[in-house]
Amino acid sequence: MSTVETKDFGMNRRSFLKSAGVSVAFAGSSLGFVSSGIAQETVLRAYGVTTAQMDDPSLISKATGIKLEFTPTDADIGVFMRDALANDIGETHDIMIFDGGTQDILGPQGFYAEIDETNPALDLWERTPDFWKKSDISVYDGKTYGVPILGNCDAFAYFADAIGANPNGQDEIPYSVLYEDDRTRGRVALDRVFSQSLACMANFLKVNGRLQIEDPANLTPEQAKAVVDYAVERKKAGTFRTLHNSFEEQVQLIQSREVDVLECWEPAVKEAEKTMKDEAPIYAYAVEGGKKWGHGAYIPKQALERGNGEAIYEVLNYFLGGEFRAYQARDRSYAGPNMDLGVEYAEKSGWSSEQVEELRATDKKISRKMSNPNAFWAKPTAPHAGVMEQEWQRFLSA
Amino acid sequence: MTALALSSPPRRRWRLPGTATGWFTGWFLLMWIGVVVLPLLIISTFSFFSMHQYQIVYDPTLATWTSLVDTGRWVVVLRTIRFAVSVTLLEILVAFPFALWLAKGCRSAAVRAGVITLLTIPFFIDASSRIIVWRSILGTNGVVNNLLVGSGLIDKPLAWLLYSDFSVSFGMFGSYFPTAVFPIFLTLSLIDDDLIKASFDLGASRLQTLRHVILPLAMPGIVGGIVFTFVPLMAAWIEPQLLGGGQVNLLGQSIQSALNNLNYPVAAALSTIVIAVLVLMLAVLVVSLRGRFKMSSLFQSVDG
Amino acid sequence: MLDRIAEASAWNVVAIALGTIALALIYGPLIWLGVMSFSAEPLSGKPYPLTFAHYGMLFSNDKWHVPFVKSVVLGLVVALACMIIGTFLARALVRLKRPGGVLFVALLPLFVPGLTIGAALFIFLRTTLDLRLGMWSLFIGHMVWAFPFALLLILIVTIRFDVKLIQAAEDLGAKPLRCFLDIELPLLMPGISGAGIFGFLLSFNELLRSTFLRGSETTMPVYNWAMASAQQSQVPIVFSLSTLILAVTLPLMGGLFFILFARK
């Protein structure tokens, strides 16, 4: 293990020096970086959110013989859509990775290619459950545009003692602990992003029969207004301590125990567990389900015209396989299609039985959450997103 | 020899060495109009269009402008101006005496170099990591509250230390202090020591010297300090975002949120307002200073 | 003699006290950040238990190398351009009869929120002119941001520059270039170097415009921004890196400023 690391480090140093040299050349001559690709292996370029990036990118090269260069971006839908629509990212990149839902617009408009489900390199497609491959991550209007690579059902984290819940974490907790519980008033944190907090709040009002709402992720102007009115009222009542904006903030709010309950991503709890052990909060099974979402890998049309199809499908297939699944679940507690292959991989690669058990638990946990009938699918490109954003400003300014 | 040359009044107009004034200024203006004025004109027209499914609909409409009122984004503009004005005032009040000491009072060159270094270094550090740290200091379980509660001064942690107007202003103050000090320090250090000495020799008190000699000469620096502080404050984003906790929504965030949703029209309208406010402020500043300090003469004084 | 204005006076004490408080507000968090870079739980605000693990992670992780180098190089290029263009323009401005218009256009970007400039340049360069964005567009974006500050800093010294010095030298037969290099430039140096430093720093930390103009390039702030969505904490790495940068730049800049301002 250690020899591998030393070797990697040596390579990293070389590539660092090389890039330094290139950069110096850049300073002297023209304004453009020479891309430094080594010709021997196939190089593909991916553009997208960094969740899909492996901590150790050499794993993917070893498994597929393809080097995947990653241009990272934030989870900001506007930046992604702008780059896809106006920046011609497809001219330079072969795979795009983002929240499922972008295919609703980029598919019909011809930016994404349809997935060829019979491509021989995509041999894991057949065994991938319909729950994933026919989900909102992959499909729009009956056509498949994306390969699902991971997903989760977002809810909130809570400190059991603050709300008198069972510390084993198996209870279903209602969202009211976030919005209207006197025990937590002033010690609640919400996500600043409206597609998370406004949608979950709408779902809470919908499930509890207070508002007539069809799709919490895509509120009509009237519905958005009604939900924000409720949000403003709760804000004025002093319910919310803070709105957070990043993963770091979520972790910090937990570790410093600034709040008792917070809307957050599951990896934040995972991160806190590293040091807080038993004192870490619990990521909830919510009565109202939560927000189902997933990341998909999509193929920009131009990439196929460049003749990179073969290699692209190899990588997409890797995303469906055991190694990728096992590492994603271990590092971020996210599930995805074919977790059984992940378990198989972990067992074969000599992971500890504890780690293997954890993979199984992750799978079970996410199945339980995803199957909650109250849970709804995220819709990052919702047709009413503009209205929702505008209404949300009213809450922020209140 | 030098004295002789200086004493003979030079009549001919002084010529620039090498580069002529005209063509360089022309070249610069051309470039700058290309990368600044033109793009801004183009985007400002976007405030009269609308967006549909992340693409611009080129149908003139006033919808964006009326929506600024309905969504409370208009209030955000006023709030932002309030923050920018108060923090700028505070900065200048603290920065001026400090810059004066640094330029004229501090006798150790090493200390001066050290202080300037300390003022510059923070810019090397990623601003958000600098600001993130405040949260663990000001939070309910943070250092300050622990000290206060521990010492028995208060019995419940102060919640308003963080995620409040206070914490945002506090964070801003630290971030923009160096930019306020720098220009003031530069002008002060350029004031000829003999002038100050002459003022004292003529029997002026400290306060008189400050008011009638130092302050007028330092004016370009003070204006520079105000501009350096106020302008970025109008678009400040990191401090309200990280220390405001959603309780303090400022313009930068409002624009950011619109652009997150690729809403160019709203971003364009809000930016147009910011530009208008700042230009207005600048105009007021210039006009009010013109009478008193003859700002414009500063630019022509070299002709003689 | 000058010390009379300040010496032993209440002014002095107040000035130093205020400045010290302000500096403490800046350095308190930085020192805390340094301490936290050794903490196992850097976000909790608890310095213990101590660990070197984050530094280990920083050195074993190579993904930040290329963005870091790109940011440094871009910063240096922006600094150089700011110094050269700023010097020429500032010298030209003080010699113009009516500099107001030019000055206003030059300073215009100061009045525009960064995101707006970013969006405006994106729409202009990418959508209107159909150019492929990259380091060159980042350079333009950073120049638009940094140059007004650089210009103001140089302007402050050129306004005060006494042209009689040049006239004297010319009367003594010095060539224009000699006059510029030997007389003018040294006197303008504090402003010019300030412009360079500000140019570098503003570029090095620039994010808002960069997210629009990056094409598919990744600078250090863009890298940090994107990694925020990795849902794995980057803070330990960012804290360690910041601490290292601080440890390296503090003596370096101290030396530079000592040469510029302290040695007469």
Give the pLDDT confidence of A190-238 residue by residue, as tens digits: 999 999 999 999 999 999 999 999 999 999 999 999 999 999 999 999 9
Q: State whether residue B144 sits within 8 Å of chain C by CB.
A: no
Handedness of CA A306, A307, A313, A315 (dihedral sign): negative
Which chain A positions have a beta carbon within 8 Å of B258's beta carbon? 389
| Minimal Cβ distance to C69: which of A20, A51, A332 | A20
Q: State mean pLDDT over B284-293.
A: 66
Q: Specify the pLDDT at position B38.
A: 93
Q: What is the pLDDT of residue A200?
A: 96
Contacts of B142 in chain A (CB under 8 A): 256
pLDDT in the model for residue A10? 36
Please say whether the beta carbons of A177 and A163 come within 8 A. yes
A226-235, A240-249, C123-132, C163-172: range with highest mean pLDDT: A226-235
Q: Which of A54, A195, A252 to mutate to test the interface with C (most CBs of C within 10 A)?
A: A252
The three state secondary structure string of chain A is CHHHHHHHHHHHHHHHHHHHHHHHHHHHCCCCCCCCCCCCCEEEEEEEEHHHCCCCCHHHHHHHCEEEEEEEECCCHHHHHHHHHCCCHHHHCCEEEEECCCHHHHCCCCCECCCCCCCCCCCCCCCCCHHHHCCCCCEECCEECEEEEEEEEECEEECHHHHCCCCCCCCEECCHHHHCCCCCCCCEEEECCHHHHHHHHHHHHHHCCCCCCCCCCCCCHHHHHHHHHHHHHHHHCCCEEEEECCHHHHHHHHHCCCCCEEECCHHHHHHHHHHHHHHCCEECEECCECEEEEEEEECEHHHHHCCCHHHHHHHHHHHHCHHHHHHHHHHHCCECCCHHHHHHHHHHCCCCHHHHHHHHHHHHHHHHHHCCCCCEECCCCCCCHHHHHHHHHHHHHC
Average pLDDT rounded to a whole number, residues A99-108: 92
Q: What is the mean pLDDT of residues A91-113?
A: 93
3-state secondary structure of C87: helix
Convert the pLDDT of each residue in A317-331 to its tens digit.
Answer: 999 999 999 998 888
| Mean per-residue pLDDT, A166-192 | 93
The better pLDDT of the pair A280, B282 is held by: A280
Paired with A286 in beta bridges are A173, A289
In single-letter form, the type of residue at position B275 comes to I
Of A248, A386, A391, Cβ closest to residue B132: A248
Quick one: closest CA in C to A256, which residue?
A: C44
The distance between the two most distant Cα atoms of chain B, rounded to a whole number of Å, is 77
Instruction: Tell me the per-residue pLDDT of C33-91, one tens digit each, with 9 for 90 and over.
Output: 888 888 877 776 677 778 888 888 788 777 888 999 999 999 999 999 999 999 989 98
Distance CA C253, CA C261 (A): 12
Distance to chain B for C147, nearest Cα, Å = 10
Q: Between the ranges B15-24, B52-61, B93-102, B282-291, where is the mean pLDDT highest?
A: B93-102
pLDDT at residue number B216: 86
When CB atoms are compared, the residue of A19, A88, A93 closest to C69 is: A19
pLDDT digits (tens, 9 = 90+) for C154-184: 887 887 777 777 777 778 877 777 777 887 8
Does A242 sit within 8 Å of B245, measured CB to CB? yes
Average pLDDT over chain A reads 87
Which among C62, C77, C233 has CB closest to A271?
Answer: C233
Closest CA of chain A from B273, distance in Å: 17
C221 lies within 8 A of chain B by CB: yes
Q: Tell if the CB–CB gap between A89 and C136 is shorter than 8 Å.
A: no
Contact with chain C for residue A34, Cβ under 8 A: no
What's the pLDDT score for residue C233?
Answer: 65
State whether A271 and C228 contact (CB < 8 Å). no
State residue A360's pLDDT score. 92
Tokens encoding A326 = 């096992």
**pLDDT above 60 for A250:** yes
pLDDT of C232: 66
3-state secondary structure of C136: helix
Q: Counting one residue from A and one from C, how many pairs have CB atoms under 8 Å apart?
A: 122
Cα(A57)–Cα(A66) distance, rounded to whole angstroms?
Answer: 10
**CA A85 – CA A97 distance, rounded (Å):** 15
**Which run of H or E residues covers position C243?**
helix C235-257
Partner residue opposite C228 with nearest CB, options A31, A93, A248: A248
d(CA A32, CA A37): 15
Task: Say yes or no: B262 contacts chain A, CB-CB below 8 A.
Answer: yes
pLDDT tens per residue across span B104-135? 888 788 888 888 888 877 766 667 777 878 88
Kindly list the distances between the CA atom of residue C256 and the CA atoms of B190, C81, C196, C260, in Å, as whole numbers in the listed order.
Answer: 19, 20, 12, 6
Q: Name the residue of chain A whose CA is nearest to B67's CA.
A: A390
What are the tokens at A118?
């019979």
Neighbour tally for B69: CB within 10 Å:
10
Cβ of B212 under 8 Å from any chain C Cβ?
Answer: no
* A234 at B interface, C-beta within 8 A: no
**Encoding tokens for residue B17?**
């060495």
Q: Place C230 in a pLDDT band, splitting at 50, 70 and 90.
A: low
DSSP character string of chain B: -HHHHHHS---SPP--SSS-HHHHHHHHHHHHIIIIIHHHHHHHHGGGSEEETTEEE----SHHHHHHHHTTHHHHHHHHHHHHHHHHHHHHHHHHHHHHIIIII---HHHHHHHHHHHHGGGGS-HHHHHHHHHHHHSTTSHHHHHHHHTTS-SS--GGGSSSHHHHHHHHHHHHHHHHHHHHHHHHHHS-HHHHHHHHHTT--HHHHIIIIIHHHHHHHHHHHHHHHHHHHHT--HHHHHHHTTSS--HHHHHHHHHHTT-HHHHHHHHHHHHHHHHHHHHHHHHHHHHHH-HHHHHHTT--
pLDDT given for residue C84 in this prediction: 93
Range with the poorest average pLDDT among A12-21, A256-265, A334-343, B243-252: A12-21
Which has more pLDDT, C255 or A233? A233
Name which residue leads in pLDDT, B286 or C124: C124
List, for residues A126-156, the tens digit of each pLDDT value.
999 999 999 999 999 999 999 999 999 999 9
Task: Please write the tens of the pLDDT for every residue from C201-219.
Answer: 889 888 889 988 998 899 9
Q: Please provide the size of chain A in residues.
A: 398
Check CB contact of B240 with chain C, cutoff 8 Å. Answer: no
Chain C residues with CB-CB distance to B177 below 8 A: 22-23, 25-26
Q: Do B246 and A391 touch (CB under 8 A)?
A: no
Q: Answer yes or no: is pLDDT of A34 > 70.
A: no
- Cα nearest neighbour of C209 on chain B: B256
Task: Say what the pLDDT of residue C139 is.
Answer: 97
Question: A33 and C135 in contact by Cβ < 8 A?
Answer: yes
| Cα dihedral across residues B184, B188, B189, B190: positive or negative | positive
Q: Give the span between the Cα atoms of B39 and C120, in whole angstroms.
A: 5
Integer Cα distance of A101 and C186 in angstroms? 60
Please say whether the beta carbons of A247 and B253 come within 8 A: no
Which of B11-15, B169-173, C183-187 has the least mean pLDDT? B11-15
Task: For residue A223, list its beta bridge partners.
Answer: none
- Residues of chain C numbered 62-81 and touching chain B (CB < 8 Å): none
Number of H helices, E strands in chain C: 13, 0
CB atoms < 10 A from the CB of A357, how many?
13
Interface contact flag, C156 B187, Cβ < 8 Å: yes
pLDDT of residue A221: 94
* Strand ordering across the sheet containing A188-191: A240-244, A188-191, A261-263, A156-158, A282-283
Number of residue pairs across B and C with CB atoms under 8 Å?
Answer: 336
pLDDT digits (tens, 9 = 90+) for A9-21: 333 434 444 444 4
pLDDT at C173: 78
Q: Round the CA-based radius of gyration of chain B to a whole number and report it.
A: 25
Mark yes or no for CB contact C253/B189 under 8 Å.
no
Identify the bridge partners of residue A289 per DSSP, sorted by sequence position.
A286
Q: Is C225 on the interface with A (CB under 8 A)?
A: yes
Residue A314 above 50 pLDDT? yes
Asked if A105 and B53 come within 8 Å (Cβ–Cβ), the reply is: yes
Is the CB of B8 inside 8 Å of chain C's CB atoms? yes
Distance CA B243, CA B239 (A): 5
Asked if the C-beta of C114 comes within 8 angstroms of chain B's C-beta atoms, the answer is yes
| A24-38, A163-177, A205-219, A291-305: the lowest-pLDDT one | A24-38
Which pLDDT band holds residue C9 (cuts at 50, 70, 90)? low
Is the peptide bond preceding residue C47 cis, with omega within 30 degrees of 0? no
Q: What is the DSSP letter of C182?
A: I
pLDDT at B30: 92
Mutate to test the interface with B, among A252, A253, A397 (most CBs of B within 10 A): A397
pLDDT score at B124: 65
Which of the pair, A369 or C15, is modelled with greater confidence? A369
Q: Is the pLDDT of residue C231 over 80?
A: no
C48 touches B: beta carbon within 8 Å: no
Task: Nearest chain B residue to A248 by CA: give it.
Answer: B132
For chain C, list the contacting chains (3+ Cβ pairs, <8 Å).
Answer: A, B
> Do A31 and C70 make contact, defined as CB atoms within 8 angstroms?
no
pLDDT band at A28 (very low <50, low <70, confident <90, very high): very low
Residues of chain A neighbouring B266 (CB-CB closer than 8 A): 390
Q: Which chains does B contact via 3+ CB–CB distances below 8 A?
A: A, C
Reading the block at residue B70, the tokens are: 């309905």
What are the structure tokens assigned to A374, written together? 């109250």
